[in-house]
Amino acid sequence: MFSRRNRRPTSEDVLKALEYLDKGDVPGALRQLRAGAGTLPPGEVALVVERAARAAGFDDLRTAAAGLAAHPGKDQALYDFGYACIERGLSYLAIPALKEVLGRNPGAMGVVRELVAAYEREGRHREAVDVLARHESDLADWPDRYLLAHNALMAGDLALAERHHALLPEPADPMWLPARDRQRRMLHRAAAAAPATPLDRTDLRGWQYVMGGTVLGTLSPYGFDAGMTGRYAWLQDTHDQCLQGLLRLRAVLDAAAVRPRSVSLLPDRGSRILGLAAAEVLGLPVEPFAPGREDTVVVAYDLDGLGATEEGREALRQLHERGAGQVLHEHASNWTDAPAVTPDSVTLLHQSVVAPWDEQLRQGDDGGVERGPADDRPAERVAADIVAADPVPGTGGDGETPADSVARLTDFVTAVRGTWLQGPRDRLTSSGPVPSSKFA
């Protein structure tokens, strides 16, 4: 198979990845490479990536991987491989190759920028900061010093972010103006939040607000100190939890002195159900979603669900820019694959969720686990069940999550309300300084 290069890989992870490819399992092969990405020789990794890229039809990645497999010690081949991996969403494989090039070519800013891009996409912001800080004397203001400030902020180092942001002049190229404005808003939100919340590596609510302007309504009561830090992994949702989210939304609006005049209904079934329930809880009339409508609460169950139809995708595009007094509330937000627009209010963060009206797992008559039928009743009847649910959070949880009272939430909102609901709803590309465990 590899006779044309007269060599076979010797790394166990690479050999296992090749076995996955022999079975036609490209995702399995790439997961195996991720497990050993920091120690595997890039030249051997390239043997796997070349085959995987051929199977996926990624000619640019296949060519770059073939070049590195043929010339594993050549800087240009390593750089080309790293660049192609970043472009194809394999940043974790780009990092070792680019680090090797930079080690032999210190001060090569083109390599530095690609390595920083790879670290960013992997959420490894502290390492991006370290690389940029080592080359501070060579930094251009745009993009390099901006990237240093940005990654310092996303790593939770506010002092370093503020120092380098303050050194940035106005960008000569207008393409950097949105990035500058976004970073300004993040630092303003941080300044508003800091007196009311610790902004440490466990402060999920504080950092969700700093990063995207999102007020997080609840923390998961499970596994806070065991890796989840307030996020859910898999969640089977309930009517009770939907009602709790809407009641906390009402408290947030009151604390922020925001007075909407309507609830706007998005086109997907889950959002319509929750929107109808929200209208009852908030005491507001409903109307179909319209772009730019002011003084309204736009309610989504899960913004990812909007992407199933063209009408929903168009609504997502229109929600990027906000109308005056418009609040976008999402009940269940995926933190590992953030929605295209960042909501202003979220009930909970999850990796995987099953809505109350979808096919949920339950105990069968034989004591085993089975999947129950979906609730296909009219949206109005399901919404009525939400409104009639138990408004008091259950007693579940492991007792390790910090106190998460409504008063604590509204105290936070009162502190930050002067910086809430500002700017476009840019998509979050990182989970930020607060780590959580997640499924591969």
279-307 pLDDT, tens digit per residue, is: 999 999 999 999 989 999 999 999 998 98
CA gap 398, 232 in Å, rounded: 13
| Domain identity same for 47 and 149 | yes
C-alpha 67: how far from its chain's center? 33
pLDDT tens digit sequence for 218-257: 999 999 999 999 999 999 999 999 999 999 999 999 999 9
C-alpha 7: how far from its chain's center? 40
User: Of 129, 160, 187, which residue sits at a domain end?
Assistant: 187
> Amino acid identity of 9?
P
The pLDDT of residue 143 is above 80:
yes
How large is the angle between the packed helices 91-104 and 42-56, nearest 10 degrees?
Answer: 140
What Å distances lie between residue 399 and 77, 204, 224, 246, 416, CA to CA?
A: 52, 17, 9, 24, 28
| Domain identity same for 209 and 355 | yes
- Among 373, 332, 330, smallest CA distance to 236 is for 332
Q: What is the pLDDT at residue 96?
A: 97
CA gap 95, 46 in Å, rounded: 13
| Domain identity same for 145 and 180 | yes
DSSP SS3 for 268: coil
Average pLDDT for the chain: 95
Average confidence (pLDDT) over 201-206: 98
Domain that holds residue 276: 200-419
| Domain identity same for 45 and 146 | yes
Residue 438 lies in a domain: no
| Interacting residues of 4 by C-beta distance below 8 A, sequence separation 6+ | none
Q: What is the pLDDT at residue 111?
A: 98
| Domain identity same for 207 and 316 | yes
Note whether 332 and 348 are within 8 A (CB). yes
| Domain identity same for 129 and 257 | no
pLDDT tens digit sequence for 64-97: 999 999 999 999 999 999 999 999 999 999 999 9
Residue 73 lies in a domain: yes
Q: What are phi and psi of 431, to 5 degrees?
A: -85, -5
Residue 56 lies in a domain: yes
Peptide bond into 143 cis (omega under 30): yes
Q: Token pair of 422, please?
A: 């500002």
Confidence of residue 386 (pLDDT cuts 50, 70, 90): very high
DSSP letter string, 48-117:
HHHHHHHHHT-HHHHHHHHHHHHSTT-HHHHHHHHHHHHHTT-HHHHHHHHHHHHHHSTT-HHHHHHHHH
What Å distances lie between residue 341 and 100, 304, 435, CA to CA?
A: 36, 10, 21
The pLDDT of residue 205 is above 70:
yes
DSSP letter string, 300-354:
ES-GGGGGGSHHHHHHHHHHTSPPTT-EEEEEEEESSS--SS--SEEEEEESEEE
CATH number where 385 lies? 3.40.50.2020
Q: Token pair of 110, please?
A: 């083109």
CATH number where 12 lies? 1.25.40
> Amino acid identity of 118?
A
Residue 14 lies in a domain: yes
* Angle at the Cα of 335 from the Cα atoms of 332 and 340, rounded to 5 degrees: 85
Residue 429 lies in a domain: no
β-bridge mates for residue 369, sequence order: 363
| Domain identity same for 18 and 66 | yes
Pairing, β 296-300 against β 262-265 = parallel
Note whether 427 and 151 are within 8 A (CB). no
| Domain identity same for 270 and 358 | yes
> What's the total number of domains in the chain?
2
Residue 425 lies in a domain: no
| Domain identity same for 183 and 108 | yes
Residue 192 lies in a domain: no
| Domain identity same for 142 and 279 | no
